[in-house]
Amino acid sequence: MHKLTYLESFCLSLFSRTISKKGATLYHIVTGKRTASILYNAQHYKLSSYFSLFPKLKREQFNYIIEKLDRLGLIKKAEVKEEYYLTEEGWLYCQQYFSDHTYPVHLNLLSNGTALKQFWRIILLITQVLSESRYHNSHYLPIEKEWEKQMWLKKWLKQQSKNKQELAEQFGKEWILLLKQLPSLNAELIVDCLSGHHKIGKTRQQLADSYQLDSFEIELLLLDSLSWIWKVIEEQQQEVPLFHSIYQAINKEYRGITQSAIVTESYLLEGHSLEETAKLRQLKFSTVSEHTIELYIVEPAFDLSLVLSEKDFNTVKQLLEEQPTIAYHEVVEKRPEILFLWYRLAQIERNHRNE
């Protein structure tokens, strides 16, 4: 068996035996480059869950990984320049490697990655504050230095009907309920990260040393555990009302959409067309079109009638159903009036149906 690091093995798993993928595109997906084309490719490749998974990964390091995987025969070049397939040997390696190592299955980072990270920071701070409250200790340094997070916590505490002692007890019970639904390793990892009275949460490297795992594997274990907790809170909100109140507030504040796309959406909701929105915002039509693509990829419930008629949309959908691999220039040859935006939105709708 080839000797690869956890990061190299995970990058290998992003390739497919049936669909060729460009290494540069994969890099932009896992580092979180938020353009319409990268967002679409993340969805098309079924890798939206891993969007911005490794935001600090250097391009040189990623290129080295791709070259190594190619040299070892775990991926092979496709006819299209800079695209690769996963080889049979590479597929077998992934099957064997991830039978003994973590592979995240609960992530949905494109839609909630930012919210999840903010949620974790708030949860860590609340846990510390309420733990110290249980021991009537007010002389400690908060683990969260950002002033906005501290103000967020003060506002949240004021909104609660219980005093701090009752709140701390209830919060602890909800923590136990959530942790009991995780595998033991995941639960232990979460607990090791928590700070409280006479307890300091471990760093990623300390966790890696403690569990004798690669630091990247620790990071993914933690993220996957948090995503699991996120889903439990969604599904069992009545059993964890305190956690759910935090989840609701964070989810509302961090939608997973860029601020500029949110502004474009507000104009559309006011009844402006895309052309009017572009003019009012002093942006190119292509820019507000990309905002629409971003909105529809991240939030499938986005109302497409805001940007095109049902008749026009059905026309493009019909063309895609007749010729699933039809390129846009071929569409235009048949129907010159069809915009690229309509074509892309129809592709995205098809991807949503196939997810």
pLDDT tens-digit readout, 6-28:
999 999 999 999 999 999 999 99
- Are 125 and 138 in a shared domain? yes
- pLDDT-derived band at 3, boundaries 50, 70, 90: confident
Q: Which domain holds residue 208?
A: 110-253
Give residue 262's pLDDT.
96
- Are 89 and 156 in a shared domain? no
pLDDT over 90, % of the chain? 94
- Are 160 and 275 in a shared domain? no
DSSP-derived pairing of the beta strands 83-86 and 75-77: antiparallel
Give residue 18's pLDDT.
94
- pLDDT-derived band at 1, boundaries 50, 70, 90: low
CA angle, 267 then 271 then 273, to 5°:
75
- Are 60 and 141 in a shared domain? no
Which bin fits 103, alpha (ψ -120 to 50), beta or left (φ > 0)?
beta
Q: Which residues are CB-neighbours of 100 under 8 A, at least 6 positions away?
A: none
CA 284, CA 274: separation in Å to the nearest integer?
Answer: 10
pLDDT tens-digit readout, 230-267:
999 999 999 999 999 999 999 989 988 999 999 999 99
CA 154, CA 151: separation in Å to the nearest integer?
Answer: 5
- pLDDT-derived band at 147, boundaries 50, 70, 90: very high
- Are 218 and 156 in a shared domain? yes
Question: Rounded to two decimals, what is the model's pTM?
Answer: 0.92
- Are 159 and 294 in a shared domain? no
CA 290, CA 219: separation in Å to the nearest integer?
Answer: 32
Helix (H, G, I), strand (E, B) or coil at 153: helix
Please report whether residue 105 resides in a domain. Answer: no
CA 166, CA 78: separation in Å to the nearest integer?
Answer: 62
CA 306, CA 34: separation in Å to the nearest integer?
Answer: 22
Give residue 57's pLDDT.
97
- Are 136 and 220 in a shared domain? yes
CA 264, CA 26: separation in Å to the nearest integer?
Answer: 28
pLDDT tens-digit readout, 294-329:
999 999 999 999 999 999 999 999 999 999 999 999
Q: Give the end of a domain, one of 97, 127, 151.
A: 97
- Are 246 and 348 in a shared domain? no
Amino acid at position 156, single letter: W
Rounded mean pLDDT, 331-351 = 94
Instruction: Return phi, psi of residue 22, to 5°.
Output: -80, 130
Rounded mean pLDDT, 87-105 = 96
Which tokens in the block code for residue 326? 């039809």
In contact, 221 and 192? CB cutoff 8 Å: no
CATH number of the domain residue 31 falls in: 1.10.10.10
Please report whether residue 18 resides in a domain. Answer: yes
Q: Give the end of a domain, one of 35, 68, 97.
A: 97
pLDDT tens-digit readout, 167-201:
999 999 999 999 999 999 999 999 999 999 999 99
Q: Give the end of a domain, one of 223, 253, 283.
A: 253
Give residue 342's pLDDT.
96
Give residue 17's pLDDT.
96
Give residue 202's pLDDT.
96
In contact, 117 and 256? CB cutoff 8 Å: no
pLDDT tens-digit readout, 19-70:
999 999 999 999 999 999 999 999 999 999 999 999 999 999 999 999 999 9
